[in-house]
């Protein structure tokens, strides 16, 4: 093959790919993508230094990744976090004042976030370390029986008083894990530095919330009760040990210790230990962040077959700045609804005009229940999770 023939072959592949509608992964088969990628790999010796060639190679690889996500591993996802912590991220053209505040809908109480932002990857961290906690408590299995930390809201209030001002009170609710454990539970290839930074950022955010606590009453059974926090609280405290370094002193392996020794951390642990959780698979973390947050905040913790939500309400929950009547629906559909539909988490949606403006009605089929035994955790694979500290 000559360089001219290589350039002609590249031009043809590039034009075919560029003609695909957005999002491209929904308008091409995996087989066709792989064939084009193989052809491009054969052209590397001629065009490997060309920027447009490298960009197309990278784009094809990412599209293939979208079509081959691993859905075999599932994590528990605590309901309280998903229900009450909003999506607060840094956006271009927007200045957020901290503490960021909002009004909790049911109680009318003010809630606050301080000392950092909160996005899809922070929710993911809580999924993973929450599942680590359950596996430790159940000795590589989910606990078979409910193990509440709190008996009632009064016991929550007493504990909050013990923890404020912050002290050195120890908590028996801890987990220890390695970088490879975090990668397994997220199906990611994050570096040790990236994992540490993500854990650190998540641990530093402070909240003052109206938090739903799962409590058991002998007469009424198990129900959620709202507890209004009186003080700011983090979700956990983070410790780590550097285990391996390169010659240039870059850390390549860390061991982390998560301690749930804060009020919010113990409420989080309590809800998990009383089975107040749902399930998400690791492929879910590959969806657009706004799609992940929409699903967590509005769909994950209920089983309604159809859910109406106004565009204004949706925009507020996801902190959208662009209120243009044309741009906003397009953004919602392309970044949230279509990806969720493609992934099978909703079956369809429709737009309706009403007195309150535009709203979406999201439909979903009955999803099969995910059993506690969906994952296989082999003894020793995450050894640190089941060892006492």
Centroid of chain to Cα 347: 21
H or E stretch covering 329: helix 327-332
The answer to whether residue 353 is domain-embedded is: yes
Q: The tokens 């197309």 sit on which residue?
A: 56
Per residue in 310-325, pLDDT (tens digit) is 998 888 888 776 565 6
| Residues 283 and 242 reside in one and the same domain | yes
| Residues 9 and 153 reside in one and the same domain | no
Residues above pLDDT 90, as percent of the chain: 63
Which has more confidence, 141 or 252?
A: 252
pTM of the model: 0.81
pLDDT of residue 27: 77
Of 67, 98, 114, which residue sits at a domain end?
67
- Mean per-residue pLDDT for 236-260? 95
Residues listed for the chain: 389
**C-alpha–C-alpha distance, residues 299 and 280, integer Å:** 12
Per residue in 60-74, pLDDT (tens digit) is 887 777 666 666 789
pLDDT of residue 199: 98
| Residues 21 and 134 reside in one and the same domain | no
| Residues 62 and 102 reside in one and the same domain | no
Of 67, 96, 118, which residue sits at a domain end?
67
Per residue in 22-57, pLDDT (tens digit) is 667 667 888 898 899 999 999 998 998 888 998 898
**C-alpha–C-alpha distance, residues 304 and 274, integer Å:** 22
Q: Which domain holds residue 236?
A: 74-287+371-386
The answer to whether residue 294 is domain-embedded is: no
**Predicted confidence (pLDDT) at residue 380 exceeds the cutoff of 50:** no
pLDDT of residue 373: 44
pLDDT of residue 375: 64
Per residue in 318-371, pLDDT (tens digit) is 877 656 567 888 889 989 999 999 888 999 999 998 777 889 999 987 554 444
β-pairing, 210-217 vs 221-228, is antiparallel
Q: How many domains does the chain have?
A: 3
| Residues 213 and 252 reside in one and the same domain | yes
Neighbour count for residue 157 (Cβ, 10 Å): 15
| Residue 254: both structure tokens together | 């860390």
| Residues 78 and 63 reside in one and the same domain | no
The answer to whether residue 164 is domain-embedded is: yes
Per residue in 283-298, pLDDT (tens digit) is 999 999 999 999 999 9
Per residue in 113-123, pLDDT (tens digit) is 999 999 999 99
Largest separation between any pair of C-alpha atoms in the chain: 81
| Residues 381 and 316 reside in one and the same domain | no
Neighbour count for residue 125 (Cβ, 10 Å): 20
**C-alpha–C-alpha distance, residues 186 and 48, integer Å:** 32
| Residues 177 and 313 reside in one and the same domain | no
| Residues 54 and 105 reside in one and the same domain | no
**C-alpha–C-alpha distance, residues 108 and 94, integer Å:** 26
H or E stretch covering 185: helix 179-186
In three state form, how does the secondary structure of 199-255 look? HHHHHHCEEECEEEEEEEECCCEEEEEEEECCCCECCCEEEEEEEEECCCCCEEEEE
The answer to whether residue 138 is domain-embedded is: yes
| Residues 252 and 137 reside in one and the same domain | yes
**Predicted confidence (pLDDT) at residue 379 exceeds the cutoff of 80:** no
Q: The tokens 């535009």 sit on which residue?
A: 358
**Predicted confidence (pLDDT) at residue 94 exceeds the cutoff of 90:** no
- Average pLDDT across the chain, whole number: 88
Close Cβ partners of 14 (under 8 Å, ≥ 6 residues apart)? 52, 56
Distance (Å) of CA 22 to CA 102, 151, 203, 338: 35, 52, 37, 11
């Amino acid at each position: 093959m000559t360089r001219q023939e290589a350039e002609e072959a590249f031009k043809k592949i590039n034009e075919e790919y560029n003609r695909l509608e957005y999002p491209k992964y929904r308008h091409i088969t995996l087989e066709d993508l792989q064939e084009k990628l193989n052809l491009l790999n054969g052209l590397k010796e001629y065009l490997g230094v060309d920027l447009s060639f490298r960009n197309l190679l990278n784009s094809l690889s990412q599209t293939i990744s979208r079509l081959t996500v691993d859905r075999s591993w599932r994590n528990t996802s605590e309901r309280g976090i998903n229900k009450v912590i909003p999506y607060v991220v840094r956006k271009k053209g927007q200045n957020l004042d901290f503490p960021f505040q909002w009004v909790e809908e049911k109680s009318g109480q003010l809630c606050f976030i301080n000392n950092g932002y909160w996005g899809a990857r922070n929710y993911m961290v809580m999924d993973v370390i929450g599942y680590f906690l359950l596996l430790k408590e159940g000795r590589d299995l989910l606990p078979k029986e409910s193990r509440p930390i709190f008996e009632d809201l009064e016991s929550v209030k007493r504990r909050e008083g013990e923890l404020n001002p912050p002290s050195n009170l120890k908590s028996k609710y801890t987990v220890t894990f390695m970088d490879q454990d975090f990668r397994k539970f997220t199906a990611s290839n994050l570096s040790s530095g990236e994992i540490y930074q993500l854990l650190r950022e998540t641990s530093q955010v402070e909240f003052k919330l109206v938090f739903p606590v799962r409590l058991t009453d002998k007469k009424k059974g198990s129900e959620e009760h709202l507890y209004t926090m009186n003080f700011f609280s983090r979700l956990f405290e983070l410790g780590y040990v550097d285990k391996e370094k390169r010659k240039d002193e870059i850390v390549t392996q860390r061991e982390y210790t998560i301690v749930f020794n804060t009020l919010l951390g113990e409420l989080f642990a309590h809800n998990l230990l009383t089975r107040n959780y749902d399930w998400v698979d690791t492929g879910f973390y590959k969806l657009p962040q706004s799609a992940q947050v929409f699903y967590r905040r509005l769909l994950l913790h209920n089983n309604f077959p159809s859910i109406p939500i106004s565009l204004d309400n949706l925009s507020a929950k996801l902190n959208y700045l662009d209120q243009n009547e044309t741009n906003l629906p397009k953004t919602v559909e392309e970044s949230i609804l279509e990806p969720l539909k493609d992934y099978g988490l909703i079956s369809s949606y429709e737009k309706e005009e009403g007195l309150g403006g535009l709203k979406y009605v999201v439909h979903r089929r009955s999803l099969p229940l995910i059993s506690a035994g969906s994952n296989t955790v082999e003894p020793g694979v995450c050894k640190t999770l089941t060892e006492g500290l």
